[in-house]
Amino acid sequence: MPITAKPMSAEKPAPTSAPGTGLSAVQRALRKLGLRRDIDFALYLPMRYEDETRIVRLADTRDGDVAQIEANVVSAELVFRPRRQLVVTVDDGSDTCQLRFFNFYPSQQKQLSVGARVRVRGEVRGGFAGRQMMHPTVKAAGVELPQALTPVYSTIAGLAQPVLRREVRAGLARARLSETVPAESAPAGAWDLQRTLTFLHYPTPDVSMAALEDRSHPAWQRLKADELLAQQLSQLQARRERATQRAPRLIGAPASGSLHDQLLQALPFSLTGAQERVGGEITRDLARDMPMHRLLQGDVGSGKTVVAALAAARCIDAGRQCALMAPTEILAAQHFGKLVDWLDPLLAQRGLRVAWLTGSQKKKERDVMAGAAESGEAALVVGTHAVISEKVRFANLALAIIDEQHRFGVAQRLALRGKATDGLEPHLLMMSATPIPRTLAMSYYADLDVSTLDELPPGRTPIVTKLVSDQRRDEVVARIEAQLALGRQVYWVCPLIEESEAIDLRNATETRDDLASALGEKVGVGLLHSRMPTAQKQAVMQDFSANRLQVLVSTTVIEVGVDVPNASLMVIEHAERFGLSQLHQLRGRVGRGAAASACVLLYAPNEGGRVGEAARARLKAMVETADGFEIARRDLEIRGPGEFLGARQSGAPLLRFADLDADTALLEWARDLAPKMLDHHPALAREHVDRWLGSKAEYLRA
Ligand code: ADP
Ligand code: MG
């Protein structure tokens, strides 16, 4: 939209400070945009430009052109129908044009009186029937034309474009833009930073707009390279800092047979090749005295829990404690149940046990469990965030395992590290079912070693995914009946309605009742909702696990990690409302046994009979692929890296300019240069990181 605002407002003095804050309204608005330091302004780039450098002839303009003309006002009248407006005709000698204003000030009306010569800029509409501009910008004619394009910055309410422009110009002028990239390492022919930023704020009118827009222009290349370098430097710094920390070496097992080997023997299956390989990677890390910082990624159902249990066994074999945390109580309960089944008998022989810590526990039980953690009797502590609450102390924690790591914030990971004893850091194993595409791993998780379970346990049959319109719910009931007749079980997931948990609960309850009456008395239909007390949730889960309930209706509480191999059908209602990774996670609840499994995505078109474009892309991806890596790739494509990462890594500074897909060459350059810079130019490296990440750099180190 062309800027029509009263041009004079820019020159008004800034409003006075709001009481108590010491900041003017403008300053507060600038802070909201993250603009504090001079360099922040210099790096705040325009979202587009306006060309005010030229005056064109009306006769040369075409429908849709944004044009700047100088012309004489030949008529001006106030019209009241169909609504009040100022209609002005101007003539520049080549042709005439009608200008229409619905909102205008008396000063503007005066400026546009008959006989005046004005400079007008706006979008030209219409052709033969006569040209028109709606709400063009009007200035006095004859003022000197600018040499460069005019930047247009993204702004917020309360911060007028001309004010922001002025602030950015001043910040850019003040900012120290000394070179931080060593001359010998800069890409050949690279622009210097001063020239780069001056140009990107005020490009010369001869620039190729395409090169600015697709960011292939040398100035953009330089800027993106700088940004990627800052990110690589800060990640590498974090890694080097970790290398200076010490962790206990977890090696050696008691002569009388190791827990690790006993657990392996007790498992009802043998490990997949991928599980063995990853187990080896973890074992090697644990044997070092540098803290492990490893991400174990594997699609839903790839068997991460066993790998975690084996790592825990290694730790316990070395005489130390392990903590396993999950984001929800249900999930923690599942781990707990399984690990108890596997490990408790073996631990009991050693006078050890598994302890359980959650927020909703009764105080008495909790004290007993915390006591066991503190004395070291609990070799393994399983739970939610409660595990890292301040009150819990460990005798000798050496390994922390975090499931669904993206649900945990940086602060929680830090708190976990604080649980270490004798100045040693615990090893950290994070697990995730949503794989990170390679380019993202390279740039955002450079301080992370990644292990991948790229093989599913044998005997799984692929899940068939079907899209079904909400109007054909009856068919779905028939499908459920068919599965029940085979002795199988069914999940039904109700959508989350964000505004109201109460509505959520009502929907889920209604669905449960509807299904119960449709399926008849013999079928047990259970309900799981996040509002239910934990004990009740666990009871329902146990009933479903033991097949006392055949159908489980739930809100998204079952999203992660629940494991009932006899379940063979997953119905997701209002699937169009869910995110892609979330849908994939939900689907992963079935297909865990040998039975052929299916996932039905019920969708409800909106009033227009349509599903939004992004929603359609998500549903399409679900039907087309069951491969978690492919799903992650498409998710990234649909959402872009900002949102993709935002959901999982709060606090990670995102790339503002570089695009990991398009800029892999620059990323490689930055990866290559970062270690050299830290070694040979540490002061420049510090300056560079500070320039780009400023106060955010601290965050990265977590
Ligand atoms: P996820 O990676 O999603 O956490 P789980 O660890 O819950 O997967 O494993 C999914 C299911 O596969 C569980 O029932 C688990 O016992 C089983 N499983 C794991 N490893 C194997 C294996 N090597 N062979 C057969 N089944 C396995
Ligand atoms: Mg899991």
DSSP letter string over 218-260? HHHHHHHHHHHHHHHHHHHHHHHHHHHS---------TT--HH
Beta carbon of 303 within 6 Å of any ligand 1 atom: yes
Contacts (Cβ under 8 Å, ≥6 apart) of 146: 52, 53
Measure 570 CA to ligand 2 centroid, in angstroms: 17
Average pLDDT, the chain: 85
Measure 300 CA to ligand 2 centroid, in angstroms: 7
Q: Considering the domain boundaries, does residue 605 fall inside one?
A: yes
CA proximity to 167, closest of 396, 14, 368 = 14
Residues 443 and 475 in one domain: no
Beta carbon of 305 within 6 Å of any ligand 1 atom: yes
What pLDDT does residue 4 have? 35
Q: Considering the domain boundaries, does residue 104 fall inside one?
A: yes
Measure 298 CA to ligand 2 centroid, in angstroms: 9
Contacts (Cβ under 8 Å, ≥6 apart) of 375: 395
Mean pLDDT computed over 382-394: 83
pLDDT bracket for residue 701 (50, 70, 90): very low
**Can you tell me which atom of ligand 1 is nearest the CA of 459?**
25
Boundary residue ending a domain (410, 432, 453): 453
What pLDDT does residue 130 have? 87
Q: Considering the domain boundaries, does residue 702 fall inside one?
A: no
**Can you tell me which atom of ligand 1 is nearest the CA of 267?**
16
pLDDT bracket for residue 604 (50, 70, 90): confident
Ligand sitting nearest the alpha carbon of 337: 1
Residues 418 and 272 in one domain: yes
Beta carbon of 271 within 6 Å of any ligand 1 atom: yes
Ligand sitting nearest the alpha carbon of 304: 1
Boundary residue ending a domain (118, 140, 162): 140
Ligand sitting nearest the alpha carbon of 297: 1
Q: Considering the domain boundaries, does residue 512 fall inside one?
A: yes
- Sheet with 397-402: list strands edge to edge: 353-357, 378-383, 321-325, 397-402, 427-432, 293-298, 449-453
Beta carbon of 285 within 6 Å of any ligand 1 atom: no
What pLDDT does residue 623 have? 94
Beta carbon of 306 within 6 Å of any ligand 1 atom: yes
Measure 395 CA to ligand 2 centroid, in angstroms: 27
What pLDDT does residue 127 have? 61
**Can you tell me which atom of ligand 1 is nearest the CA of 271?**
23
Beta carbon of 272 within 6 Å of any ligand 1 atom: yes
Q: What angle do CA 547, 551, 557 make, to 5 degrees?
A: 100
Residues 446 and 470 in one domain: no
Mean pLDDT computed over 391-420: 75
Measure 307 CA to ligand 1 centroid, in angstroms: 9
Measure 312 CA to ligand 2 centroid, in angstroms: 15
Structure token pair of residue 698: 């601290």
Identify the weakest region by mean pLDDT among 13-22, 94-103, 465-474, 568-577. 13-22
- β 397-402/551-554 pair status: unpaired
Ligand sitting nearest the alpha carbon of 593: 1
Residue 83's CATH number: 2.40.50.140
Please check the confidence at residue 628 and state whether its pLDDT lies above 90: no
Beta carbon of 457 within 6 Å of any ligand 1 atom: yes
Please choose from 295, 305, 430, 584 the residue to mutate so as to test ligand 1's pocket, defined by most ligand atoms within 8 A of CB: 305
Q: How far apart are CA 693 and CA 685, in angstroms?
A: 12
Q: How far apart are CA 380 and CA 92, in angstroms?
A: 84
**Can you tell me which atom of ligand 1 is nearest the CA of 275?**
23
Task: Give the residue, by CA position, lying nearest to ligand 1 atom 16.
Answer: 303
Task: Give the residue, by CA position, lying nearest to ligand 1 atom 25.
Answer: 457
Beta carbon of 434 within 6 Å of any ligand 1 atom: no
pLDDT bracket for residue 14 (50, 70, 90): very low
Mean pLDDT computed over 466-487: 92
Residue given tokens 């030229």 in the structure block: 54
What digits encode the pLDDT tens for the residues 107-164? 989 999 999 999 999 999 986 668 999 999 999 998 899 999 999 999 988 899 999 9
Residue 155 CB-density burial (10 A; 0-12 exposed, 13-18 middle, 19+ buried): middle
CA proximity to 133, closest of 102, 93, 108, 100 = 100
Measure 582 CA to ligand 1 centroid, in angstroms: 19
Beta carbon of 339 within 6 Å of any ligand 1 atom: no
Measure 480 CA to ligand 1 centroid, in angstroms: 25
What pLDDT does residue 652 have? 43
Please check the confidence at residue 317 and state whether its pLDDT lies above 70: yes
Beta carbon of 304 within 6 Å of any ligand 1 atom: yes
What digits encode the pLDDT tens for the residues 34-73? 899 999 999 999 988 988 999 999 999 988 889 999 999 9
Beta carbon of 450 within 6 Å of any ligand 1 atom: no
Residues 319 and 417 in one domain: yes
Q: Considering the domain boundaries, does residue 237 fall inside one?
A: no
Mean pLDDT computed over 217-225: 94
Residues 418 and 469 in one domain: no
Beta carbon of 275 within 6 Å of any ligand 1 atom: yes
pLDDT bracket for residue 180 (50, 70, 90): very high
* Residue 318 belongs to domain spanning: 259-453
How far is C-alpha 165 from the geometric centre of its chain's CA atoms?
A: 30
What digits encode the pLDDT tens for the residues 286-295? 999 999 989 8
Identify the weakest region by mean pLDDT among 274-283, 389-398, 634-643. 634-643
How many domains does the chain fold into?
3
Task: Give the residue, by CA position, lying nearest to ligand 1 atom 22.
Answer: 457
Mean pLDDT computed over 212-220: 90
Residues 367 and 390 in one domain: yes
Mean pLDDT computed over 536-557: 88
What pLDDT does residue 2 have? 37
What pLDDT does residue 19 have? 52
What is the identity of the amino acid at 608?
Answer: G
Boundary residue ending a domain (140, 162, 183): 140
Measure 565 CA to ligand 1 centroid, in angstroms: 10
Beta carbon of 563 within 6 Å of any ligand 1 atom: yes
Residue 349's CATH number: 3.40.50.300
Identify the weakest region by mean pLDDT among 24-28, 58-62, 502-506. 502-506
Measure 276 CA to ligand 1 centroid, in angstroms: 13
Beta carbon of 433 within 6 Å of any ligand 1 atom: yes
What pLDDT does residue 683 have? 94
Beta carbon of 300 within 6 Å of any ligand 1 atom: yes
Please choose from 334, 336, 401, 592 the residue to mutate so as to test ligand 1's pocket, defined by most ligand atoms within 8 A of CB: 592
Beta carbon of 337 within 6 Å of any ligand 1 atom: no
What pLDDT does residue 643 have? 54
The answer to whether 380 and 354 are in contact (CB under 8 A) is yes
Mean pLDDT computed over 357-362: 86
Measure 403 CA to ligand 2 centroid, in angstroms: 7
Q: How far apart are CA 659 and CA 433, in angstroms?
A: 24
Residues 80 and 131 in one domain: yes
Identify the weakest region by mean pLDDT among 28-32, 240-244, 321-325. 240-244
Ligand sitting nearest the alpha carbon of 404: 2
Residues 488 and 421 in one domain: no
Residues 469 and 597 in one domain: yes
Residues 442 and 308 in one domain: yes
Q: Quick one: CA dihedral 88, 91, 97, 103, positive or negative? A: negative
Residues 471 and 536 in one domain: yes
pLDDT bracket for residue 7 (50, 70, 90): very low
What pTM was estimated for this model as a whole? Answer: 0.67
Q: Considering the domain boundaries, does residue 40 fall inside one?
A: no
Please choose from 269, 461, 597 the residue to mutate so as to test ligand 1's pocket, defined by most ligand atoms within 8 A of CB: 269
Q: What percent of the chain has pLDDT over 70?
A: 86
Measure 302 CA to ligand 2 centroid, in angstroms: 8
Beta carbon of 592 within 6 Å of any ligand 1 atom: yes
Please check the confidence at residue 409 and state whether its pLDDT lies above 90: no
Q: How far apart are CA 616 and CA 605, in angstroms?
A: 10
pLDDT bracket for residue 609 (50, 70, 90): low
Please check the confidence at residue 103 and state whether its pLDDT lies above 90: no
Q: How far apart are CA 532 and CA 558, in angstroms?
A: 13
Residues 351 and 468 in one domain: no
Please choose from 306, 342, 589 the residue to mutate so as to test ligand 1's pocket, defined by most ligand atoms within 8 A of CB: 306
pLDDT bracket for residue 501 (50, 70, 90): low
Measure 331 CA to ligand 2 centroid, in angstroms: 8
Beta carbon of 269 within 6 Å of any ligand 1 atom: yes
Mean pLDDT computed over 165-178: 95
Q: Considering the domain boundaries, does residue 405 fall inside one?
A: yes
Identify the weakest region by mean pLDDT among 47-61, 212-226, 388-402. 388-402
The answer to whether 341 and 266 are in contact (CB under 8 A) is no
Q: Considering the domain boundaries, does residue 136 fall inside one?
A: yes
What pLDDT does residue 392 have? 86
Q: How far apart are CA 467 and CA 602, in angstroms?
A: 6
